Structure 1
């Protein structure tokens, strides 16, 4: 019969192996450890809720004119909860809160749709160019270089003047002329991906070239694409705001943050005292840009494999 030593130290239980974490799980944890990016994401969510659901609490429509405040808005048309004009009224007596809701929504939509078009076109174009290589790559990239040499803002203004100042033309102009940078980034990443083992294995098994690009190359570009998209959205918003500031963008009765900022700036420059007409849309404009930039910076740090 075996005798156990009471003074012996009991054996420790074998350590359980840590479960492996995927790239996206690791990136999510790294992102949420970035306090600035998390705060920016919360601000961005609040701005989106304001843009798409803020109209539910508005007491006035964006086109409704309060004739009692026309001409005296500098004195009586300021922000007030009692009158229901939460952000005050503009020079025409229209509720600035309702117009800021619509302007924020329209600016976000232009930024999102414009960046989506740019990312889809640019990613596919760059992936095809980088994977095929050779003379095809040279021709496709020279086309990109020629288009990049043309001033983007000049092309956009020319399109709006020639084809009309419609919202659809603004979407098309911003989206189709902003994919060039994404194409160069996707092409550079594809050059390093196409020599990987999984791509060579797909070639050896007889997978078609188009399937390799769509199923193997493009999915491995998602990290770069997501980061670039978050940084491209504020650029789209700035372009639209600049065009609307010049009076070539969104036309009445629609409005955007750029158009509202333009109206507020003209009111102040003309000697008016209704500063709220500028500060409210300008505040949402600046907050939206900084939120997107901080979120994009956080995603770039979270998805960078060199920092893991």
Structure 2
């Protein structure tokens, strides 16, 4: 029997109609379904609280030397809540908890700022090359190929030796050399976006090319950029840690996780495993958390996996 509808029946309320979801709302829901990514996001939050709020609970300053512990830290400088040295002391008698807080904060900032510089420069460079195309695209990408052929660590070490071992040069060196891969990714995505209808409509209405790049091309690269930036942060942290492990990175009295791991590894045979264990724990936890978050973002923002 056919169904009939009474024309006098009221129309369905707006709340009864199916509600649509935006791409970002759908991606957020898919991300939080990923348990590994969600737990990793919580871990990153706890590490950030430790890095930026740990000094509030530290009993000692990071550069305060306890001269009574120098030479006997293997027996007297052990981790203890009674003495206030929660992570013990290093070989110079300095509180390892306060220094781990500073090292975690510095490594986190280097990873985030270096990744931000690389993403901004690489995205703009790749979007311009992909949108303009032709000979300009060929020249710009050949420059990228030439720079990619130069060993990254050699360039970074050369910059630190020539212009001084400072935090500013470390930020600039890591960020400005790491944008090359981002440029190639942004250029490839731009080649597929610039032929879309909304870009052609903007061209037809007389919008300037730079405005099209900034308002139409770059926002549509946001998904790829966010995923790549999340995966680039641990790479920046590893680079900085390796440079500091060689003694060319962060200089005293400042410290980073790489410097702490280097100093702790040198003392591992002297019966002080905490000097290596605590910095290494935060280093590994930070790397794995960023990788799992990046993997979760990639799955959440991938339209082919919906």
Q: What is aligned with 2:6?
A: none
What is the Cα deviation at residue 76 of structure 1? 1.3
1-side partners of 2:209 and 2:157: how far apart?
39
SS in 1 for 2:66: coil
Does 2:290 correspond to 1:292? Answer: yes
What is the Cα deviation at residue 17 of structure 1? 2.3
1-side partners of 2:167 and 2:51: how far apart?
18
Structure 2, unpaired ranges of 5+? 1-8
Structure 1 runs (4+) greater than 3 angstroms displaced: none
Q: Deviations over 1:168-223 (max 9, x none)?
A: 11111001000000000000000000000100111111111111000000000000
Q: What is aligned with 2:4?
A: none
2-side partners of 1:78 and 1:248: how far apart?
29
SS in 2 for 1:68: helix
2-side partners of 1:69 and 1:82: how far apart?
15
1-side partners of 2:255 and 2:89: how far apart?
14
Does 2:43 correspond to 1:35? Answer: no
1:41-190 correspondence runs (5 A): 41-190=41-190
2-side partners of 1:297 and 1:19: how far apart?
28
Q: What is aligned with 1:277?
A: 275
Q: What is aligned with 1:301?
A: 299
* Superposition CA RMSD, Å: 1.3
Q: What is aligned with 1:3?
A: none
What is the Cα deviation at residue 14 of structure 1? 5.8
2-side partners of 1:184 and 1:93: how far apart?
48
Structure 1, unpaired ranges of 5+? 1-10
Q: Deviations over 1:35-85 (max 9, x none)?
A: 100000000000000000000000000010112211110111110000000
Q: What is aligned with 1:215?
A: 215
SS in 1 for 2:28: helix
SS in 2 for 1:80: coil
Q: TM-score, normalised by structure 1?
A: 0.94
SS in 1 for 2:141: helix
Q: What is aligned with 1:4?
A: none
1-side partners of 2:274 and 2:32: how far apart?
35
What is the Cα deviation at residue 228 of structure 1? 0.2
Q: Deviations over 1:95-131 (max 9, x none)?
A: 0000000000000010011000000000000000000
1:224-303 correspondence runs (5 A): 224-268=224-268, 271-303=269-301
The number of residues matched between the two structures is: 296
